[in-house]
Chains A and B, each alone.
Chain A
């Protein structure tokens, strides 16, 4: 669906101011006070009515979004099913749950420790948020940069609430993680002499965003997947973990597996378990469209919470400022931040700039919502969706003709499929649900409060505080996937798993009843969303 004549008329206003905007240079960056103000007034996280307090479990008293609370305040999917926990289908050292970038990194490092590793994943290996990441991965590897400078950016982005030890691990390990990927044969964008190409991302003070065109996550994912296969690590696809198993000492000792196709349940016993199940965009917090893959339903939060792991920062969700608002077929499709990194600016209906194009995501999203809701300067699409322009044609003016096609092939292709030419026409955007800033709280080795239960990747919390910066998540999954894998693999040698049970799930149900929670017949984890595309 190409732009309608009405929208084409409006595009003329964007074109009229373009040369001037390029010449004038960057819009003014907000002061700290201005940032606080726009966030508190317009960011979805600050809408009180969108959350409720948990009344039981380790996070009693904490507020989380209703959509997640609905799954926490629910009974186990496998309640009442009879199966024999003594009948062990898989007996391994390390069980890795989730076949994204964090799971793959963890599996590789665990195996390097000599551990027998089993990976199970809900969809195909690599059907994950990782494969969708376009923009890039941060690491302070240039002369004018350092892990300390990176650290300050991470803390500032995270509203200074990040767990310091985790932020240190992230930034100090970053170059090591990048080097590991380079050695595995990830095709990073480089100059002929081997120097990495790197640009800014939202909230960076140095140009430390590394990329593999705009298929950064795909390139990392397919390389790691290829390596996992080369090393003969066992992977079971279309196999979800639906509940953890704890042993008689309360330590993690395995999981209940569910065959997504046959409906069969099996028991896996493992000395250590690593949850790398990713985010929860498919819960569609506050009804937002999401950029996340089909399986991003927050399963680790649900089963981890039942086992006694603590959630952190689950009251903060990242809304990406640039989700597609048009054409309707790609509503919510992520427009990579690299578009802004290359200089494209958000512009209102009158063709005016209204926010510095590289503000952090939370601030940029809030500013876009303000421009539309308070100032009435949004553009209404034929479906009634309102957005603002993202002026992609600026990029070729700034960097020379051909830059958009060379640097953003995925974006060009995805819009061209629906007859929008982003080289010449601006895009229409609106913030979309993108990333779970929080997750299950871990320590520097990736372990939770439950012994032998590890979490890595988007499912983990604390690293990014209240807001993650672009490029720090691809980094996080590699850094903490590696850390968790190494630790869990080494530790497995000395562990003897005692008798396994699901007693913690029974206890959870009782606690929930005692707290007077009405589960309304809900069961969880969700595993997959259900869409009908019908207007009810």
Chain B
């Protein structure tokens, strides 16, 4: 494949890079060794938030550096950290209702409906929507809608109401899972059996079996369809 070189501007400084690279790889191609702004390199950790403009275009765009290809005449900078407030709580003692979230994050009611958070989300989440669910105490829906959040912080960086959306999201998910979703009865039962030592003898026996014997049992074990 022939390589096509393009100009990009990292914090305003010009570099010539292959157009097939992601922003992250282009920064490294330019000679940087990243310390900040790089974590999983695969779109899961949210370390690599990047804002950019293409020369001549008014629109400010965002993306995860590891998941976005460079474009010609791209001016970019990373936002590896964004100050955010997080409430400390004991999840076991909380109540799963709107008042609970409102007590910790009252600023969610300052939302002016501009939808900047949704527009900016690199995961394409309906961020404003899930904040709306939180306002109305629909914790299950808030948990569901916010689920794919990688906590990159771009929503908070753009919010005129200064909401820290992703911290509302995780609170909702933990409240939902701990206090609304039903606990798994079969899991509870198995834990009790284990604590009562129900499997000890069987495990002990397996541990002392010979390798040949184990191999045979393994080959013959029945497999759930």
Contact = CB atoms under 8 A, between A and B. Distances in A.
Given A142-B186, A146-B202, A195-B186, A186 B25 contact: no
B182 A192 contact: yes
Interface stretch (B106-114, B129-137, B217-225): B217-225
B42 A132 contact: yes
Interface residues of B, number: 75
Interface centre among A151, A164, A230, A533 (most CB of B within 10 A): A533
B177 interface: yes
B42 A148 contact: no
A382 B20 CA distance: 13
Interface residues on A, range: 35 or more
A402 interface: no
B38 interface: yes
A223 B186 contact: no
Interface centre among B29, B35, B194 (most CB of A within 10 A): B194
Given A146-B199, A172-B203, A196 B186 contact: yes
Contact of A293 (B41, B90, B195): B41
Interface in A1-60: 1, 31-32
B160 interface: no
Contacts of B28: 531-533
B161 interface: no
Contacts of B31: 532
B191 interface: yes
A127 B47 contact: yes
B203 to A, nearest CB: 5
Interface centre among A131, A149, A195, A383 (most CB of B within 10 A): A131
A533 B25 contact: yes
Interface string B182-206: 1111111011001100011011001
A454 interface: no
A229 B167 CA distance: 12
Contacts of A149: 221
Nearest to A290: B41
Interface in B33-89: 33-36, 38-45, 47, 67-69, 86, 88-89
A3 to B, nearest CB: 15
Nearest to B43: A414
Interface stretch (A173-181, A466-474, A487-495): A173-181
A328 B207 contact: no
A222 interface: yes
Interface of A: 1, 31-32, 123-124, 126-128, 131-132, 139-144, 146-149, 151-153, 155-156, 160, 164-165, 167-168, 171-173, 175-176, 178-179, 182-188, 190, 192-196, 200, 205-207, 213, 215, 217-219, 222-223, 226-227, 229-230, 232, 238, 260-261, 291, 293-295, 328-330, 333-334, 382-383, 409-410, 413-414, 417-418, 528, 530-534
12 contacts: A124-B47, A128-B39, A148-B206, A155-B206, A171-B203, A175-B194, A178-B187, A184-B91, A194-B184, A213-B147, A230-B89, A410-B44
Q: Which 9 A-B pairs have the closest CB atoms?
A: A194-B182, A127-B39, A185-B174, A185-B178, A156-B218, A164-B207, A185-B177, A148-B202, A187-B177
